[in-house]
Amino acid sequence: MEGADLRIVSAVILLAVAGFAFFMARAVLVAASSGMYLKLRGVRARGTCVGSVPGRYGSGVAVRFEDLAGTTRTASVYGWNGTLLPETGEPVEIVYSRRNPRNADRWPVRTQNAVGNVLYLSLCGLVIGALGAGAFWVAVLAAWSAF
């Protein structure tokens, strides 16, 4: 490969790495905001278990509840790791988002693992972003010196 072709290939690779870092940071923000929003500003409600729901990382339950407007809603609630799922008809304490009542979690909201994961993913995003930005800067300097 010639020098110009190598610079183009490296610029494309670095652009892909920078894009990956951007989407990683976006995923971290979404994950953090969802759990923390429910914990800080969610609305607590008492609902009724209407059945079980299979999930990607475990089973959950479908909970029917009334929101602040009096509308009856159904939400899938997960997070019963290591404990028994409620039976159909049992009361369930949940917390839901005012913005999107289908976004619900059981009360109390568990954020210990979420905080650790957010910190880990943030660090990974920063490292990958810094590597991508540094490599892009090196490629720009190499291209600039070729002229």
**82: domain range?**
3-146
For the chain, how many structural domains are there in total?
1
DSSP-derived secondary structure letter, 63:
E
**Model pTM?**
0.53
Residue (of 31, 16, 29, 32) closest to 128 by Cα position: 16
CB atoms within 10 A of CB 30: 9
Q: What is the pLDDT along the chain (147 residues), one digit of tens a residue?
A: 565 667 677 777 777 777 777 777 777 666 666 666 677 778 889 999 998 888 776 778 899 999 888 899 998 887 766 677 888 999 988 888 888 888 888 776 665 555 666 677 777 777 877 777 777 777 777 777 766
pLDDT at res. 126: 78
